[in-house]
Structure 1
Amino acid sequence: MHTATHLKQRDRALDLLKWLALLSMVLDHLRYVGYSADWLYVPGRLAFPWFCLAMAINLARKPAVATSRQWRYLGWLLMFSAVSEIPYRMFIPSPDTLNVMPTLALGLLVVLGWQDRTLQARLVAAGAVVLAALFARQLMFGFFGVMLPLAMLLVIRRPWYFALLPGVVCLAANQWQVLYYSVRQGNEVAMAAIATCLIAPWLGLFLLRHASDVKPPPMRRWAYALYPVHFLVLLALRQALA
């Protein structure tokens, strides 16, 4: 199976992946609306790896150098990192990390440094890795979350079983120690979450390779605003249900 067609023109399967990642994220955050729904943690494990895979696909279109388009990509991530932080903290009770956008921004820098062999790009990527290591506790999904877009990029054109590599990175990014402890206690949600982390990259690649006939609405730059807005909508829902 190949992904060449996904690197040439607008890819409807990629749009589908982004919409499903957004849905998974909303389902995950519904756990904080007020009802006991711990099982939503399981589909929520799909969101971050699928956003990382979408990033890797977009960057693989022009792998040679860091183009102005890719730096604009970074600019959008940084802008919405700032815009999203207040809604994120309003909705998530006592958050112990920043919102997910800074993790994606650092991951983007790592991928750009891998693709662009110039000294400047490599130094910027190295700086991103150092920041990820130093501030892993403050970053959502930590150090391994920053490395996940690169892990995704490395397996895009490879056979499906190579997706186990980003699957392991995805699991490491999702507090595997806590999940493993819960599994030892017989927690079925934790068992399902571990399995979901491991197969999420493969499942995303499967969708990209076999869902080309699906035609969801294109997800363009306006979709960045959905991240902070969904926090505000869920916050209003929680207050309405209180």
Structure 2
Amino acid sequence: MHGTQTLPVGRVRDGALDLLKWLALLSMVLDHLRYVGLSLDGLYVPGRLAFPWFCLAIAANLHRVKDAPVTGQWRYLGWLLLFSVISEVPYRMFIDDADTLNVLPTLALGLLVARGWQQKALVDRGLAIIALAIAAVFSTQLMFGFFGVLLPLAMLLVFSRPWYFSVLPGVVCVAANQWQVLLNSGSPVAMLGLATCLIAPLIGLVMLRHAQNTSPPPMRRWAYALYPVHFLLLLLLRKFIA
């Protein structure tokens, strides 16, 4: 691609966005397979794609409906909050030593921040400021922390910038992924994980632009249930293996 192109500025087809969501879900499952009792540490690397691609999906949805009625976006937030609560018990059942909430509260706050930047209404700006304050105060309790909450906004900014600006969400993604711990580790898996965080936004944006002819099964509201259900299925797998 050339420097004069932007990523992407037009309306994104549902097929490309659904493909992104399915691949993000696959990356998440691969990441969580590390906890079933097998030696699968290498799955940490493809697992680093999941969170930035879910954030990119949020940004893509906001970009597509920026001039549409707001009711759909409030519904989007409501589903995220509902399954944040539903998912917490399965999440903690599967991740025994979890020291953060599940990922959905981070995504919900990130949606509010990105929407507050996009919309001019006072209520949207106010909710964005509240979300930022919550992220700052409770950063250690949120999966991917304060920078994780900023990532959907960083993704949204890239939609109207030349493609090489994807380094911005890449750096935010690295900051959200315990980069100090990974650097101190110095292991090949840790270094590959950092590199994956850096390039994940660009890969996702290129996919949205060039996978327009794909037609995977559409992800509808039922897909929210896949998050808590996959924890329960992996928990059953771990018990079977044990």
Alpha-carbon separation, structure 2, partners of 1:157 and 1:213: 22
Matched, 1:233 2:216: no
Alpha-carbon separation, structure 2, partners of 1:219 and 1:176: 32
Alpha-carbon separation, structure 1, partners of 2:121 and 2:11: 26
1:212-231 to 2 correspondences below 5 Å: 212-231=212-231
Contact 1:163 1:201 in 2 (8 A): yes
Tell me what 1:86 maps to: 89
Matched, 1:49 2:61: no
Tell me what 2:61 maps to: 58
Contact 2:52 2:201 in 1 (8 A): yes
Structure 1 stretches of 4+ with a deviation exceeding 4 A read: none
Contact 2:83 2:225 in 1 (8 A): yes
Tell me what 2:118 maps to: 115
Alpha-carbon separation, structure 2, partners of 1:66 and 1:91: 38
SS at 2:172 equivalent: helix
1:109-188 to 2 correspondences below 5 Å: 109-183=112-186, 187-188=187-188
Structure 1, unaligned runs of 5 or more: none
Contact 1:65 1:112 in 2 (8 A): no
Tell me what 1:29 maps to: 32
Contact 2:107 2:149 in 1 (8 A): yes
Alpha-carbon separation, structure 2, partners of 1:196 and 1:66: 36
Tell me what 2:20 maps to: 17
Contact 2:113 2:128 in 1 (8 A): yes
Deviation digits for residues 126-177 of structure 1 (CA, Å, limit 9, x no counterpart):
0100000000000000000000000000001322110000000000000111
Tell me what 2:197 maps to: 197
Contact 2:151 2:173 in 1 (8 A): yes
The Cα shift of 1:64 comes to: 4.6
Structure 2, unaligned runs of 5 or more: none
Match of 2:99 among 96, 107, 116: 96
Contact 2:9 2:159 in 1 (8 A): no
Distance 1:65 1:113, change over 3 A: farther
Equivalent position amino acid for 1:213 in 2:
N
Alpha-carbon separation, structure 2, partners of 1:45 and 1:136: 19
Structure 1-normalised TM-score? 0.95
Contact 1:6 1:208 in 2 (8 A): no
Equivalent position amino acid for 2:127 in 1:
V
Alpha-carbon separation, structure 2, partners of 1:31 and 1:95: 14
Identity of aligned pairs, percent?
69
Equivalent position amino acid for 2:42 in 1:
W
SS at 2:160 equivalent: coil
Equivalent position amino acid for 2:90 in 1:
P
The Cα shift of 1:5 comes to: 4.3
Contact 1:66 1:116 in 2 (8 A): no
Alpha-carbon separation, structure 2, partners of 1:142 and 1:24: 20
